[in-house]
Amino acid sequence: MKRSSINTLLRQAKTLFREHCFALPPFADWTPGQWRELGADADEIRHRGLGWDLTDFGGGDFHKTGLLLFTLRNGHAAHRAGKRYAEKIMIVEPGQLTPWHFHEAKMEDIINRGGGKLLIQVRNIDPDNRMADDQVTVSLDGLRRTVPAGTTLILNPGESITMTRRLAHQFWGDPSSGKVLVGEVSDVNNDHTDNYFLPPVGRFPEIEEDEPPLHLLCHEYPQTCRI
């Protein structure tokens, strides 16, 4: 992806968050120059992958297959006495697909926080890590529902679904409605080791530097000594 395109998407995201009265933490506005001045005091942000994140899943067409995220908080799976949860806010465009995937370690609630409708399909995963054809039982805002494999569920603003471990899902914005503000509340998140895409896809984009970055993405921060 071109850096200029990423910068445009970040500006548009900040505008959408303001329109929905969703306030971001101060580090959302930090510039690359500010990051170069930060030391170990910012290591929780740096090493937990907090902040801006986006991907085209290696397909080269972000608006068709892609996702923009901001990770607000995240713990570390190995630190039993520490933070054991994570939270993200995401923007899903009309018709924009996040492809089939599941998690081994993370259970999550996906929440329509506002805007358009979110469409989501679900399928069980068999012991060989393939999508199964049996019925799927899910929890929609605390109500249990059993549906055929591959059923498309609709989340209106305010509605949510619980994604248990090893439950495959893909989602996109309803093409007939607007952008969707999507929340995620989950166990500790690790995008490097706990995203299993079917089939495999790229997670972090290759970036063509055609202009300076507005903000660094969460995998671009200057490093200090790890904690």
- Residues 145-160 pLDDT 10s: 999 999 999 999 999 9
Residue the block writes with tokens 């959408």: 16
pLDDT at 148: 98
> Does a structural domain hold residue 217?
no
pLDDT digits (tens, 9 = 90+) for 159-196: 999 999 999 999 999 999 999 999 999 999 998 899 99
Cβ–Cβ < 8 Å for 47, 39: no
- CATH number (domain holding residue 113): 2.60.120.10
Q: Which domain holds residue 47?
A: 3-197
> Does a structural domain hold residue 213?
no
Q: How far apart are CA 94 and CA 174, in angstroms?
A: 5
User: Which residues have CB under 8 Å from 167's CB, separation 6+?
Assistant: 102, 122, 123, 124, 125, 136, 138
Compute the average pLDDT of residues 189-207.
91
Q: What are phi and psi of 111, to 5 degrees?
A: -125, 130
- Print the SS3 string covering the chain: CEHHHHHHHHHHHHHHHHHCCCCCCHHHHCCHHHHHHCCHHHHHHHHCCCEEEEECCCCCCCCCECEEEEEEEECCCCCCCCCCEEEEEEEECECCEEEEEECCCCCEEEEEEEECCEEEEEEEECCCCCECCCCEEEEECCEEEEECCCCEEEECCCCEEEECCCEEEEEEECCCCCCEEEEEEEECCCCCCCCEECCCCCCCCCCECCCCCCCCCCCCCCCCCCC
**pLDDT over threshold 90, residue 225:** no
Q: How far apart are CA 20 and CA 11, in angstroms?
A: 15
pLDDT at 80: 66
> Does a structural domain hold residue 216?
no
pLDDT digits (tens, 9 = 90+) for 100-150: 999 999 999 999 999 999 999 999 999 999 999 999 999 999 999 999 999
Closest to 104 (Cα-Cα) out of 199, 168, 194: 194
Residue the block writes with tokens 């607007």: 178
pLDDT at 72: 98
Q: How many domains does the chain have?
A: 1
Average pLDDT in the chain? 94
Cβ–Cβ < 8 Å for 193, 106: no
Residue 52 tokens read as 């801006």
Instruction: State pTM to two decimals.
Output: 0.94
> Does a structural domain hold residue 207?
no
> Does a structural domain hold residue 205?
no
> Does a structural domain hold residue 85?
yes
Residue 216 tokens read as 């660094």
**pLDDT over threshold 80, residue 79:** no
pLDDT digits (tens, 9 = 90+) for 2-49: 999 999 999 999 999 999 999 999 999 999 999 999 999 999 999 999
Amino acid identity, position 48? R
Q: How confident is the model at residue 226 (pLDDT cuts 50, 70, 90)?
A: very low
Beta partners for residue 171, in sequence order: 98, 120
> Does a structural domain hold residue 36?
yes
Q: How confident is the model at residue 227 (pLDDT cuts 50, 70, 90)?
A: very low
> Does a structural domain hold residue 129?
yes
Going 19 to 24 to 213 to 209, the CA torsion angle's sign is negative
